[in-house]
Structure 1
């Protein structure tokens, strides 16, 4: 089984044995087999998780985040609200990240040229994160690692090495610099342009595919509380706890 998000963070912080040379698996795979759990020193945690993890029957709350990699408000919301909420409530919510935001595109033969609100570095950051979403199941922790660092771009390689050591950086950059990344970013552009109503700023949040100003305000004020309130199945124990508030936008020029 995959290690639940909250347990993953707990084990990562409290199990130094998992960092030993005998543990070569990515953190989220520590519980994937008895052998890897033993090698990484987390057998007890894996067994406890398997016994106590709730089995949800209702559909998860779908959170869509349309954002830019270097937008200060996006970074704050992603690292301070979306990722922590997902860590606590990953059993009852799903997150779709769409890094594009207020960017623009124009066709150039069979490819597209992108212009980003915060310059070429943001286009690069958007492209790296887009390729990560395509290349690895651990994209969200890697993107959190990037967005919470002092330098989003420079931290990318080390963040990949931490959360998915089996993914080579050359593989990521091949996507970034090639046709795959260009087409994936074009898909992000189309998803963003298809928003109804059209986005006016980022971060722009959809809940179960819908955007209203009321849902946006509630998500920005307390995404945690919103997800707990909207989930139609039995509430997990974490629901009911408070969450810090974040509200900062990068308006579309």
Structure 2
């Protein structure tokens, strides 16, 4: 019995955990949002047919996607569809094998709720509104999220976060030259002490983060901090609870 228990523990701890990002990468059609923070926020929504077949997508209106911008506390400060009218007519889009389609949206920071946007880290939660109608059985992830910084020097950009409930992947690009570190906290307690980040020669990085289930906050946000060694970290929202 003890041998079986130890085997189960080892399997739980050492077998690869499938993150949301990994699951999305194995979807037939992948939906992704990316953010670039400039004078305005520029969002790119991409749908990628990762199969060898022609795919037909159907939309119930002219709206292809929706998204919300949330602050560090999980409060929605902007919703794309609010106050907009869309043509209520069924529309279709075809994606050839391997084809990608992109839509772009620009958000003026001045239109945030209460017309104020404090410097810091923000999250974009996007939803794809299309459905696969041909061929049957195709899988598509309907949601994607990313984070962006407002009002601060952009050492880290193109940040995307995938995952939930303790398992996350942080991808992005670093423009500096110093060693990069990351840590995780919940606003009250340090959950993961500083660890080094592997940055490739092009400045890209991909961090796998695991937080124990008992350490997840019951209410609030789980925040990772990216930093150059010895400097103050840049907050990245992993998940709001």
Q: Do both share a fold (TM > 0.5)?
A: no
Q: Which interval holds the TM-score relative to the shorter structure? A: under 0.3
TM-score (norm 1): 0.21
Normalised by the length of structure 2, the TM-score is: 0.21
**Which structure has more RCO (C-alpha within 8 Å, separation ≥ 6)?**
1
Which protein has the larger Cα radius of gyration, Structure 1 or Structure 2?
Answer: 2
Q: Between Structure 1 and Structure 2, which shows a larger proportion of strand residues?
A: 2
